[in-house]
Amino acid sequence: MKQLDQLPEIANRSLGGLHASPEMRYAIQMKAARQQKRKTQAMVFTKIAAPVLCAAVLLALFFFPSAPLNTVAPPSITSLPLGQLQAGDTNGATLLGEVSVSNSRAAGDSGIWSSVTSGTFPLIGVKGRYYRMLSSPSAVSASSALQSLGIVEEYTTEPSLSDTGIISSNCVSAGDEVYTFNGYNNTFVCAKVNGEYRLFQRVSFNGHATLGKETLIDTLSISGHIQSMSISGIGTVSDSSAAENLFRILTDNATYESSGSIRSSSILTITLSDGISAQMLISEDRLAACGVWSCPEFISAFSAAVN
C-alpha cells in the first residue's frame, strides 16, 4: 500500500519538468474542434440528404411509374408479323370490299389483324402453324366453315409455352372446333370466339413460320380469288386480272428470309372475292405475314401498275 501512496510522487518525479506549452494546448484544442465540426457537418448532411433522397424517389415513381413490385413480368412473346409502323399523315381512305384501307398508317397500326392484348395477339396454333384473328370481318358465316381440323386441346394465356404438336389458342375455348375456311388451305381458319365465327390468317409466331418445304404460296393460297390490291401510301390496283398478275410476280420471285419480324412502313391489303381480305406488312422490298420475304420485283411492278 505504501507504494500506491507514493504513486503521485513517483509520477511527478518521472514527468518532472514536462508542461504543455500554449502552442501545444492550442493545437490540441484546434484538432478537437475540427473533429467535432466534421461530426456536426456529417450529421447535418445526413439530416438534409435523407428527405431529399426520399423526395427524389417519390418524384421518380410519380413521373416514371413502373410495374408493381409484386407483378411478375410475362414471358417475352413477340408478335412476329406485326412490327412497328412509322407515323404518317391521316389521308383519305379507299374502301376495298369490307376493309377500309387508309393511304398511310399510324404507328403501331396492325391493319386488319386484331391488336395485341396482354402480351400477344388473339391466335390459334394448329400443330405448328399459327393463325392470327382478323378484326375485319367481325364475323363470318358458319356455312363457310368447311372441314374440321380438330378441337382446341389447350386454352392458354401463354401460347408461346404450348406444345406445337397440338391445337391451342388464347381466344378459342378448349373443346371448340377449328375449321378450314372456304377451301383456303393453310391461309385461313375459323372458329367460334364469344359465340361468333371469326376468321384467322396464317402468320409467324414466336419463331415459327413455314413448315418443311412450304413456300409463300403455300401460306397464302389465294390465287384465283383476288379482286384488288392496295398498298398504303402507294395506291390501289382495282383490276382483278392485273392484281392476279401482281400476285404471281410476288409468289414466283419472293425469297424467304426469316421467321422474324420487320419494322414496317406500309401494308399490302389483298381483297378477295369472298368479301374478305388478307394482308402483309411491307418494309422497303420486304413483306411479312407468315415469314419475312424479299421481293423487289413485286414492289417495282406494283408501283408501275398504279402509275
Buried b (16+ CB within 10 A) or exposed e, 101-135: bbbbbeeebbbbbbeeeebbbbbbbbeebbbbbbb
Last residue of a domain, one of 174, 203, 232: 203
Q: Is residue 103 part of a domain?
A: yes
First-to-last alpha carbon distance for the chain, in angstroms, is 122
State how beta strands 286-289 and 291-294 pair: antiparallel
Same domain, 82 and 118: yes
Helix (H) or strand (E) holding 226: strand 226-231
- Last residue in a domain, options 176, 203, 230: 203
Q: Are residues 128 and 227 in the same domain?
A: no
The rounded Cα 163 to chain-centroid distance in angstroms is: 22
234 domain-assigned: yes
Q: Which of 203, 230, 255 is the last residue before a domain boundary?
A: 203
Give the global pTM: 0.67
Taking a C-beta distance cutoff of 8 angstroms, is the pair 229, 268 a contact? yes
Is 17 part of a structural domain of the chain?
A: no
Percent of the chain residues past pLDDT 90, beyond the cut:
57
Q: Is residue 211 part of a domain?
A: no
Domain annotation covers residue 152: yes
- State the cell numbers at 131: 393463325
Do 112 and 226 lie in one domain? The reply is no
Could you read off the pLDDT of 170-186 as tens digits, one per residue? 999 999 999 999 989 89
Question: Within a domain: residue 183?
Answer: yes
Domain range for 242 = 216-306
Q: Rounded mean pLDDT of 184-196?
A: 95
pLDDT at 38: 67
pLDDT in tens, 16-44: 555 555 555 555 666 666 666 666 665 65
Examine residue 132 and state whether it is found in any structural domain, yes or no.
yes
The number of domains in the chain is 2
pLDDT number for residue 74: 38
- Shortest CA distance to 226 belongs to which of 204, 251, 254, 203? 251
231 lies in the same domain as 260: yes
DSSP 3-state assignment of 55?
A: helix
